[in-house]
């Protein structure tokens, strides 16, 4: 990734691995920085690999029936290959070989259903002894949180009055990696469920998940940057982020075996949602009439179905080529790991993972809601739309090293939807992926086609916006508050053992009494909430108890309560009082708010 300038503005060249958006599904159209950037568990078997890397090594997917990989692993070796990784629950072997006849020989083996090369270039030597990504030095920020245009456009700032998300909801960022040390990401980062899946096999060493670019850190911040008073706030600042790096270093390419590893990891580690702002290299579109690409389609499809069967919803970027995904004709960008050629394609050829069954496909909008100039589209392909930035109005988020910056792309739109999906999962913990997916569409705000012949469909569902622009507030069951009727306190208040603390909010400019449906949004970080009694104290001293030592050993109170405060004058100093009634467990009032 080439840095063209230093200082307050950094121009980032799009890595080849992001190709097809503008130029690819994942590459930011522009970037600048500012700041001080189904019920079984599958096993991934270690490589029965050569002692050392050999020039000419290529990677293949060997597809069998689920549970049938062990019966053909011997044939992999006898036909000049080695088993690099095995995903037996979905019937996928990642094999390496230097033999040009490996694939054709394996296709004749009993029990083998498909075999396909995953790349047109050699597997890097790094695959056999992967180097850990750098852990960048961190810069402190003087930036304070503000309501950015993208968050207000999807009403995330209003949704936080209902929930900022639950810490029990795990979100996977399948990308270039994430800077887990960043001041706005560290509070919500889940290292225990993070890994690298570069080359198609999980690497669980500490730090293997870190960013080999900037893209994944930016995406992570949009989803769940902490609500901590500095920098930026993500759509779901109360959920946990896990990084699954699927981009390979140097090339930043996302090959099929990497995606397969990532999806299986997501399923096995309980991710409720994953964000996928990329397409599976080296083919912008994989065509089922090509034996290699057919195997890629099947392998990744099985992995996605496995993750969904385990409770994980996949959200993916539509791509940045201003291309009609419902009327495919040509592809001039593939293969992007060697020499691209122009080929004729049809709608049978699909962008992976975004066009796989069950995946939520996201188009991008600019500031104001119009289709972003670069965003792919397609009636029946696009599910929802979200802010991705366009031109000077970029999406501002985290960058490695404690920095922040703007990027544009469907890569930036997708994490907004992922964040909303995480909020839905937080307020509806029993929801299945299908139910979350349905909620995203049903609650989206309808947006009609503009005067553009390329946009076909209806107001309720069309090629530019799908079922509409995602609405975080409606998605979590909230309603729009009246202007000027929302008040919050973001200052932390420590809750010590056996102590009582208060956090004030001064309300002004509200006529008459408080409503009978006063919303009290509470974000308390505290282990064992059965220790706590939580009261709303009105300006005249009247106490309304919203939580009284329930919840036992559950951690954290992140929810919205409704209080009948109609007897109280609205204006004045309201307080949130928290009483800790036991020893050992402590915490803090992280934030709270009132909606009149």
Q: Across residues 339-359, what is the average pLDDT?
A: 98
Judge: domain 58-127, CATH 3.40.50: no
CB crowding 185-222: b at 16 or more within 10 Å, else e: bbbbbbeebbbbbbbbbbbeeebbbbbbbbbbbbbbbb
pLDDT of residue 314: 98
Q: What is the structure's pLDDT at 551?
A: 84
Dihedral class, residue 332 (left if φ above 0, else alpha if ψ from -120 to 50, else beta): alpha
Give 1's pLDDT tier (boundaries 50, 70, 90): very low
pLDDT of residue 481: 52
Residue 242 scores a pLDDT above 90: yes
Per-residue pLDDT for 3 more than 80? no
- Choosing from 25, 88, 175, 292, the catalytic residue is 175
- What top-level class would CATH report for the domain 16-36+155-475? alpha beta
Q: Is the pLDDT of residue 112 over 70?
A: yes
Given the residues 96, 215, 218, 269, select the one marked as catalytic: 215
Q: Residues near 408 by Cβ (< 8 Å), separated by ≥ 6?
A: 28, 29, 30, 364, 372, 374, 388, 389, 390, 391, 394, 395
Asked if residues 137 and 457 have their Cβ atoms less than 8 Å apart, the reply is no
Higher pLDDT: 586 or 45? It is 586
Under the banding of pLDDT at 50, 70 and 90, the label for residue 26 is very low
- Domain boundaries defined on the chain: 16-36+155-475, 58-127, 486-595
pLDDT on residue 16: 35
Lowest mean pLDDT among 107-111, 363-367, 417-421, 583-587: 583-587
- Tell me the pLDDT band of 564, cut-offs 50, 70 and 90: very high
State the pLDDT at residue 196: 98
Q: What pLDDT is stored for residue 478 in this prediction?
A: 73
pLDDT tens for each residue of 128-162: 999 999 999 999 999 888 889 999 999 999 999 88
Of 228-237, 398-407, 517-526, the one with minimum mean pLDDT is: 517-526
- Please name the residue that has the structure tokens 């949009």: 222
Q: Is 269 a catalytic residue?
A: no
Q: Does 4 score more than 50 pLDDT?
A: no
pLDDT at residue 51 greater than cutoff 60 = no
Domains 16-36+155-475 and 58-127 in one fold:
no
What CA–CA distances, in Å, run from 567 to 502, 521, 540, 543, 571?
22, 20, 10, 12, 12
How sure is the predictor about 260, in pLDDT bands with cuts at 50, 70 and 90?
Answer: very high
The predicted pLDDT at position 560 comes to 84
Distance CA 430, CA 342 (A): 47
Please tell me the predicted confidence (pLDDT) of residue 479: 64
All residues at 6 or more sequence positions from 389 whose CB lies less than 8 Å from its CB, including other chains: 29, 150, 364, 366, 367, 372, 395, 406, 407, 408, 409, 412
Report, as an integer, the average pLDDT of 288-295: 98
Once rounded to an integer, what is the mean pLDDT over residues 574-596? Answer: 92
Averaged confidence pLDDT in the chain: 90
Q: Provide the 10 A C-beta neighbour count for residue 120.
A: 16
Q: Model confidence over 512-554: pLDDT tens digits?
A: 888 888 989 898 999 999 999 999 999 999 999 999 999 888 8
More confident residue, 79 or 26: 79
User: What is the full DSSP assignment across 115-139?
Assistant: EEES-SSPPPGGGGSPPPPP-PPP-
Which residue in 487, 492, 490 sits closest to 589, CA to CA?
492
Say what the pLDDT of residue 555 is. 84
The pLDDT value recorded for residue 510 is 87
CA-to-CA distance for 218 and 404, rounded, in angstroms?
8
pLDDT, average across residues 334-360? 98
Give 421-475 pLDDT, tens digit per residue. Answer: 999 999 999 999 999 999 999 999 999 999 999 999 999 999 999 999 999 999 9
The yes or no reply on domain 486-595 and CATH 2.120.10.10 is no
Least confident of 239-253, 276-290, 483-497, 543-557: 483-497
Using the predicted structure, report yes or no on whether residue 483 has a pLDDT greater than 70: no
Candidate list 194, 411, 414, 426, residue with the active-site label: 411
Active-site annotation holds for 580: no
Q: How confident is the model at residue 327 (pLDDT cuts 50, 70, 90)?
A: very high
Say whether pTM exceeds 0.75: yes
What confidence tier does 75 reach under pLDDT thresholds 50, 70, 90? very high
96 is catalytic: no
**pLDDT value at residue 147:** 81
The answer, yes or no, to whether residue 49 has pLDDT greater than 70, is no
């Amino acid at each position: 990734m080439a840095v063209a300038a230093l200082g307050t503005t950094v121009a980032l060249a799009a890595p080849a691995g992001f190709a097809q958006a503008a130029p690819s599904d994942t590459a930011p159209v522009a970037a600048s920085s500012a700041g001080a950037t189904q019920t079984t568990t599958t096993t991934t078997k270690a490589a029965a690999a050569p002692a050392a890397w050999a020039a000419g090594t290529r990677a293949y997917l060997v597809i069998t029936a689920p549970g049938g990989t062990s019966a053909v692993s011997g044939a992999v070796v006898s036909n000049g290959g080695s088993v690099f990784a095995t995903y037996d629950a979905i019937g996928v072997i990642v094999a390496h070989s230097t033999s040009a006849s490996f694939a054709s020989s394996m296709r004749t083996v009993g029990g083998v259903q498909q075999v396909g090369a995953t790349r047109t270039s050699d597997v890097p030597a790094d695959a056999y002894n992967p180097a850990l990504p750098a852990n960048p030095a961190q810069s402190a920020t003087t930036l304070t949180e503000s309501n950015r245009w993208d968050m207000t456009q999807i009403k995330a700032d209003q949704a936080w009055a209902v929930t900022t998300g639950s810490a029990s909801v795990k979100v996977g960022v399948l990308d270039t990696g994430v800077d887990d040390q960043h001041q706005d990401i560290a509070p919500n980062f889940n290292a225990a469920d993070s890994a690298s899946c570069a080359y198609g096999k999980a690497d669980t060493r500490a730090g293997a998940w870190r960013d080999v670019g900037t893209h994944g850190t930016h995406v992570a911040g949009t989803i769940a940057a902490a609500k901590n008073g500095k920098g930026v706030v993500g759509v779901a600042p109360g959920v946990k982020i896990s990084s699954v790096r699927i981009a390979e270093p140097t090339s930043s390419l996302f090959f099929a075996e990497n995606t397969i590893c990532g999806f299986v990891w997501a399923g096995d580690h309980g991710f409720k949602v994953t964000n996928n702002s990329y397409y599976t290299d080296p083919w912008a579109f994989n065509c089922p009439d090509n034996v290699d690409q057919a195997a890629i389609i099947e392998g990744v499809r099985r992995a996605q179905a496995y993750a969904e069967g385990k409770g994980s919803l996949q959200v993916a970027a539509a791509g940045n080529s201003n291309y009609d995904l419902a009327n495919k004709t040509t592809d001039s960008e593939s293969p992007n790991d060697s020499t691209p050629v122009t080929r004729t394609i049809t709608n049978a050829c699909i962008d992976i993972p975004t066009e796989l069954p069950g995946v939520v496909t996201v188009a991008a909008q600019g500031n104001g809601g119009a289709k972003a100039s670069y965003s792919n589209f397609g009636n029946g392909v696009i599910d929802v739309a979200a802010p991705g930035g366009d031109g000077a109005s970029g999406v501002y988020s985290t960058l490695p090293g404690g920095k922040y910056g703007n990027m544009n792309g469907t890569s930036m739109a997708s994490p907004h939807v992922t964040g909303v999906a995480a909020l839905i999962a937080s307020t509806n913990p029993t929801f299945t992926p299908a139910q979350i997916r349905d909620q995203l569409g049903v609650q989206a705000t309808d947006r009609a086609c503009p005067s553009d012949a390329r946009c076909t469909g209806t107001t309720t569902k069309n090629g530019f916006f799908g079922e509409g622009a995602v609405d975080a507030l409606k998605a979590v069951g909230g309603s729009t508050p009246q202007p000027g009727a929302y008040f919050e306190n973001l200052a932390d208040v420590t809750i010590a053992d056996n102590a009582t603390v208060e956090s004030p909010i001064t309300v002004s400019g509200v006529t008459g009494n408080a409503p009978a449906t006063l919303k009290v949004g509470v974000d308390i970080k505290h282990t064992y909430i059965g220790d706590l009694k939580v009261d709303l104290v009105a300006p005249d001293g009247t106490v309304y108890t919203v939580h009284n030592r329930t919840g036992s050993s559950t951690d954290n109170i992140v929810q919205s309560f409704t209080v009948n405060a109609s007897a109280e004058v609205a204006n004045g100093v309201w307080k949130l009082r928290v009483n800790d009634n036991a020893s050992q467990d402590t915490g803090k009032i992280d934030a709270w708010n009132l909606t009149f």
